[in-house]
């Protein structure tokens, strides 16, 4: 077969018309999949927000407690050095 024979064979092929029902089903499946993914993203985002809300006060409290221990140790050391604390 030569190139011209192939071109002639291709020219004789009927054009395929799009199937409207199939296209609608494909669109519906795609939209359903996109909606499902969006719901998952929303749920995971809300979990992260809840974790941040719970974790931030805990970390802040822990930092405050460490600062209080440090300041208490600093004051105790200062008093020992001055001989006021036996």
**Residue extents of the structural domains in the chain:** 3-82
Residue-wise pLDDT tens digits, 30-59: 999 999 999 988 888 787 777 788 888 999
| Averaged pLDDT of the chain | 87
pTM of the model: 0.42
For residues 76 and 86, give the distance between their C-alpha atoms in angstroms, rounded to a whole number.
Answer: 10
55: left (phi over 0), alpha (psi -120 to 50) or beta: alpha
């Amino acid at each position: 077969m030569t190139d011209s024979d192939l071109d002639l064979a291709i020219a004789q092929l009927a054009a395929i018309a799009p199937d409207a029902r199939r296209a609608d089903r494909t669109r519906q499946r795609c939209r359903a999949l996109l909606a499902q993914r969006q719901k998952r993203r929303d749920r995971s985002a809300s979990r992260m927000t809840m974790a941040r809300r719970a974790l931030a006060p805990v970390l802040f409290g822990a930092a405050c407690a460490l600062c209080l221990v440090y300041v208490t140790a600093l004051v105790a050391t200062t008093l020992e050095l001055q001989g006021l604390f036996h």
